[in-house]
Structure 1
Amino acid sequence: MAADVPAADALAPTAADRPSASRRRLLTWLLALPVLLAALVVGGAGPASAHAELDSSNPAAESTVPSAPASVTLRFTEGVETGLGGVKVLDPEGKRVDTGDAEHGIGGPSTVTVKLSPGLAPGTYTVAWRVVSEDSHPIAGAFTFNIVRASASSANIGSQGADSSVTFVDGLARGLAFASYALLAGSVLFLVALRPAAVGRFRVWMLLFASWAGLLVSTVAALMLYGPKASALPFSSAFDLDVLRATLETKLGRALSVRILILGAAGALLGYLVAVLPTAGRRRRQVLGGAWALLSAGLAATWSLSDHASVGMQAPLAVTADIVHLLAMGTWLGGLAVMVLLLFGTERDEDGEELPGALDVPTVAWFSKIAMICVSVLIVTGVYASWRQVGSFDALFSTTFGLLLILKANFVTLMIAAAWTARRWLQARLRASAGARAGDPMARKQTIRRAVAAEAALAIAVIAVTTVLVNTEPARTAYAREEAAKPRIASASTPFDAGGSAGKGIVDVAIDPAKSGVNTVDVFVRDPLRNPIDPPEVTVTVALPDKQIDAIAVPVEHIAPGQWRAQGVSLPLAGTWQVSIAVRTTDIDRAIVTVPLKVR
């Protein structure tokens, strides 16, 4: 970890540092991010889960069942937690008819079942559910079903959203946690590796303490607020011990608890570092730097193992990449923060003595190289994460997550440009130290101050956008959900031959919206020239052999020439349904045709 900083003359410019080469490097960095993002976004992949979605239910949404069910079962697209949520079933008057807590069913963590009171009366029942998906984000929804028949009224469940004050303070806590982590992890690594004497400065010491305390306070706040946020409870419930106990049993609650424990160890090591670092030798600095890097990786893992990276395809690789991404972010931004303090702070004490750890050109040159390595890591890991969570250009440009990702990429690109400006100043300073005219040192220092200040301001913007990103549904699942919600019709056409002189024709069948639940089935009968015809009888049945559902009669009504329709047809499960149409053209001539139609 610790490296001896070479003298300025050891960093004299080479042919590779000519302005034309520098411009080419800048152009490379500015082009790398969007090009890699484009390449991987359109690279294609299987679906990557993030926020869970309700896949199906029994009884199905908007369906009518002939008798009172003993329970309600919800099936989600991924595993969910119910400790901070649950399932409520309300009768038409708004009274709860569920008994006991919601439990995982025989389908495992992705299935939630709640029992119902026996002997429920006919009418419309409302199911309101709230669970936490595997990426630690709370989700909620509601639907209705009918027992025997629909009633004139149904229960009003009101808003299921979290308290606005809880959401606001939780967002602040998450943003503070990201910023504090970056400052804490990177500033210590910068001091250990490049400027150990600077730890004796009061401003630097305050930065270390404030970032450690900020991460601790924000983590405790996030832990206390997660329960109210996930359960849609008021702000005051943050101090409810029962809610806190339920939070500690969740995936995120355990991760935040581990983060607090790691922060305890980090605080002890930080105190030791402040005491010994100014006089520590190279070997001790290497050991201290390695220990701090391990603790920083552990802190990063508390995010990666409880958020988007931990769910979906290639989860182990995604978690590893996310940890590396956070470490690179911290190394860059934390080191940048120390540079800001040293550049803008007073360089001499009240007695006129030079303060320890003054920033010099070789130190900035070394950090410039480290920063570019961090940028490379951030681009590669960031683009990989974007590919997992976006998946297509349509999702990139049509979802909140995708637009925020573009905004973050632009900020990072501007940060690279600011860093390049600082590097150009360094090259000029190094040439001066090699024998060229020094020029105005104060003017050059002002140049690098402006570049570093701009880089720091953009870093704050990046952290702010990142905070919003981690609380936003990934573009891949948001886009898929929006696409699934669009009206769709499953249709097919097939010829039939019932025999006789007028026994041939074409049957068209359509299911709308072709989603599990209530659908409308339309059948069109036409002659070989596709003119509507009205045979004496048309009957329809549906079956789902894959799920052992035998043929169910669908009563169709003749509504127009050549057209029959059945409304309110319950197709409770997703799958490929076999739709059979029997067409009787005479007393003795009859044909049966079957077409497969996919129901989502």
Structure 2
Amino acid sequence: MRKIFQSALVIALLLAPSRAWAHAHLKRSDPAADSRVSSLLLAIRLWFTERPELSMSSASLKDADGNEVVMMLPEAGRPGDNEIHFRLSAPLLPGRYVLAWRTAASDGHPSRGSFGFTVVGEAAVTPLGSASTSPIAVRGSEGNGQKQTSRSQTGVGEEEEDAASPANSLARALLFTALLAVIGVVAFRVLVLPRARTVSSELCQKIARRAAAFGLLASGVVIFVSLVRLYLEARMMGAMPGMPGPSLNQIVMQTLWGYAFMIQVAAAVLALVAFSLAVRGMRIGWTIATISAAVLAITPALGGHAASSPRFTSLLISADFLHVLGGASWLGSLFCVMLIGVPMALTTEGGDRWGNIASLVNSFSPVALGSATLVVASGILASWIHLEHLSSFWTTNYGKTLLLKLLLVGCILIIGAYNFRRVQPQLVKEEGVARLRKSAGTELAVGFLILLVTGLLTGISP
């Protein structure tokens, strides 16, 4: 059973739902990069691969002498177009101009870039809101304008952002780890402990209280790392020279990422209170902790690509929620079994200790199998919707990083096969428990490395 679960886990890790597109990349613009346009230009329009957050979007237009041109605040285009535009306060004089832009998708990952264009004499102009998306070209330059439109669709002048920096990647990995720990503690208490029928009720209560203490610590980590991520988000958005960054109030109150941040922190605070009650043996604490864990499981979807997807939004949010819930039920429960349940079972007298350990491990196995099924099903669904080109797995930095993740997953396969064939049948002996603790410790260490790589992957665009 454990071997089957490990194989399912490998598939789930490869699927990585709702994180396939990490940034709002510039798809095209009007004017296009290096195009020649009319002096009657009314606005500058930008189209992105994801819906940009209007409150986190800004642009700066400068002429050849470095003088800044006054533009209005960004406005959203038609629903579903992923477009924003900046109206010009006055017609542009002939000459060369450079537009520097910045925005962020709903997952909070910013992107930025710049491109230039040339304003020439008056010509017919495309009204704002027209169906045309090509830049306005003067007579005799239609071919050049068409060529530059094609170039702009590839994100000409787009710069790499700090979303994949070591600090941001580590913060995301630590947040994933803390979230999995909080949810895993609840899954261990609700799904694993009640199935360990040969373990005495007194020992179960002691294990539950120790698990609640660990959940208390993990909840505090969720709050702390969430605040660190807010700081890093504000720093990323304020890194564009010549553009004022959005305030913390704008980031938190006017974006989907901020909405998810507030829910996450509130749920973590509620979990903190719940685990405090559970440590004291109050059953109501576990009820509140279960609700908090369910809310925390959905926050990655609300602050990720699932919530901003132009299609199947509700379905993607549900799939991402089930993916996190399933993964946390496995990894967090395994942590509780090996670092809380097994050590406490070893303190019991006589031969019951080996039976208690075997009961805990055996009660964990069906939970692991069910969680793996949940992870695989939700991952397949989300990946089928998100992944655009298979070739991106071997032609991009995202794909190269994914190969590292594959190597780590292969290590987990080997450890899982060893546990299933050599360790689990010997749990009734002291030697078998020693092997289990060593191999499971290695398995958890590799699992954390996978979370580190996942933290990097979620900041890289494939």
Provide TM-score, normalisation by structure 2: 0.76
Distance of aligned partners of 1:26 and 1:345 in 2 relative to their CA distance in 1, 3 Å threshold: closer
Q: 1:252 aligns with which of 235, 251, 257?
A: 257
Give the superposition deviation at 1:101.
2.0
Give the superposition deviation at 1:346.
6.9
1:70 aligns with: 42
Distance of aligned partners of 1:102 and 1:229 in 2 relative to their CA distance in 1, 3 Å threshold: same
Contact 1:127 1:142 in 2 (8 A): yes
Contact 2:213 2:279 in 1 (8 A): no
Distance of aligned partners of 1:200 and 1:33 in 2 relative to their CA distance in 1, 3 Å threshold: closer
Tell me whether 1:454 sits opposite 2:442 in the alignment: yes
Superposition pairs for residues 367-382 of structure 1, below 5 Å? Answer: 367-382=364-379
Give the superposition deviation at 1:34.
5.9
- Opposite residue 72 of structure 1, the aligned amino acid is I
1:330 aligns with: 328
Distance of aligned partners of 1:100 and 1:58 in 2 relative to their CA distance in 1, 3 Å threshold: same
1:186 aligns with: 184
1:362 aligns with: 359
Contact 2:56 2:104 in 1 (8 A): yes
Give the superposition deviation at 1:80.
1.2
Taking the aligned partners of 2:25 and 2:398, their CA distance within structure 1 comes to 17
Contact 1:85 1:230 in 2 (8 A): no
Give the superposition deviation at 1:112.
1.8
Tell me whether 1:264 sits opposite 2:269 in the alignment: yes
Q: 2:63 aligns with which of 85, 91, 102?
A: 91
Could you give the per-residue CA deviations for residues 74-105 of structure 1, whole angstroms, max 9, x where no partner exists? Answer: 23344211322301111101121023322224
2:126 aligns with: none
Tell me whether 1:308 sits opposite 2:305 in the alignment: yes
Contact 1:342 1:358 in 2 (8 A): no
SS of 1:126's partner is strand
Give the superposition deviation at 1:228.
2.1
Distance of aligned partners of 1:189 and 1:30 in 2 relative to their CA distance in 1, 3 Å threshold: closer
Taking the aligned partners of 2:356 and 2:206, their CA distance within structure 1 comes to 9
Q: 1:219 aligns with which of 226, 231, 254?
A: 226
Taking the aligned partners of 1:125 and 1:36, their CA distance within structure 2 comes to 46
Contact 1:309 1:322 in 2 (8 A): yes
The alignment covers a number of residue pairs equal to: 412
Taking the aligned partners of 2:354 and 2:260, their CA distance within structure 1 comes to 37
Tell me whether 1:463 sits opposite 2:451 in the alignment: yes
Q: 1:59 aligns with which of 18, 26, 31?
A: 31
- When the two chains are superposed, the root-mean-square deviation of aligned CA atoms in Å is 4.0
Contact 2:110 2:161 in 1 (8 A): no
1:428 aligns with: 425
Instruction: Give the number of the structure whose residues are more often strand, by fraction.
Output: 1
Distance of aligned partners of 1:114 and 1:124 in 2 relative to their CA distance in 1, 3 Å threshold: same
SS of 1:246's partner is helix
- Opposite residue 137 of structure 1, the aligned amino acid is H
- Opposite residue 179 of structure 2, the aligned amino acid is Y
Contact 1:49 1:313 in 2 (8 A): no
Distance of aligned partners of 1:244 and 1:109 in 2 relative to their CA distance in 1, 3 Å threshold: farther
2:205 aligns with: 197
2:216 aligns with: 209
Could you give the per-residue CA deviations for residues 528-585 of structure 1, whole angstroms, max 9, x where no partner exists? Answer: xxxxxxxxxxxxxxxxxxxxxxxxxxxxxxxxxxxxxxxxxxxxxxxxxxxxxxxxxx
Give the superposition deviation at 1:396.
2.0
Could you give the per-residue CA deviations for residues 395-441 of structure 1, whole angstroms, max 9, x where no partner exists? Answer: 222223334445435534543543443344565247x6xxxxxxxx3
Give the superposition deviation at 1:392.
3.9
Give the superposition deviation at 1:127.
0.9
Give the superposition deviation at 1:120.
3.5
2:99 aligns with: 127
Distance of aligned partners of 1:320 and 1:444 in 2 relative to their CA distance in 1, 3 Å threshold: same
Percent sequence identity over aligned pairs: 26
Taking the aligned partners of 1:251 and 1:357, their CA distance within structure 2 comes to 50
2:128 aligns with: none
Distance of aligned partners of 1:137 and 1:405 in 2 relative to their CA distance in 1, 3 Å threshold: same
SS of 1:443's partner is helix
Distance of aligned partners of 1:109 and 1:28 in 2 relative to their CA distance in 1, 3 Å threshold: closer
1:555 aligns with: none
Unaligned runs of 5+ in 1: 1-21, 42-47, 150-157, 278-283, 433-440, 476-600
Distance of aligned partners of 1:233 and 1:87 in 2 relative to their CA distance in 1, 3 Å threshold: closer
Q: 1:80 aligns with which of 28, 34, 52?
A: 52
Distance of aligned partners of 1:104 and 1:308 in 2 relative to their CA distance in 1, 3 Å threshold: closer
Contact 2:276 2:285 in 1 (8 A): no
Taking the aligned partners of 2:173 and 2:13, their CA distance within structure 1 comes to 27
Taking the aligned partners of 1:193 and 1:37, their CA distance within structure 2 comes to 26
- Opposite residue 169 of structure 1, the aligned amino acid is A
SS of 2:72's partner is strand
Superposition pairs for residues 532-571 of structure 1, below 5 Å? Answer: none
Provide TM-score, normalisation by structure 1: 0.60
Distance of aligned partners of 1:99 and 1:84 in 2 relative to their CA distance in 1, 3 Å threshold: same
1:443 aligns with: 431
Superposition pairs for residues 280-359 of structure 1, below 5 Å? Answer: 291-310=288-307, 311-342=309-340, 345=343
Taking the aligned partners of 1:36 and 1:27, their CA distance within structure 2 comes to 14
Could you give the per-residue CA deviations for residues 116-154 of structure 1, whole angstroms, max 9, x where no partner exists? Answer: 3435332100011111124432121211111128xxxxx
- Opposite residue 375 of structure 1, the aligned amino acid is A
2:174 aligns with: 176
Contact 1:368 1:419 in 2 (8 A): no
SS of 1:225's partner is helix
Tell me whether 1:140 sits opposite 2:112 in the alignment: yes
Distance of aligned partners of 1:36 and 1:340 in 2 relative to their CA distance in 1, 3 Å threshold: closer
Give the superposition deviation at 1:336.
1.4
SS of 2:98's partner is strand
Taking the aligned partners of 1:110 and 1:463, their CA distance within structure 2 comes to 31
Instruction: Give the number of the structure whose residues are more often helix, by fraction.
Output: 2
SS of 2:55's partner is strand
Taking the aligned partners of 2:189 and 2:13, their CA distance within structure 1 comes to 33
Contact 2:39 2:93 in 1 (8 A): no
User: Which structure carries more relative contact order (alpha carbon 8 Å, separation 6+)?
Assistant: 2
Worse-matched range after superposition: 309-318 or 451-460: 309-318
Distance of aligned partners of 1:107 and 1:74 in 2 relative to their CA distance in 1, 3 Å threshold: farther
- Opposite residue 323 of structure 1, the aligned amino acid is F
Could you give the per-residue CA deviations for residues 316-347 of structure 1, whole angstroms, max 9, x where no partner exists? Answer: 22221111111111111111112232377476
Contact 1:365 1:426 in 2 (8 A): no
- Opposite residue 262 of structure 1, the aligned amino acid is A
2:397 aligns with: 400
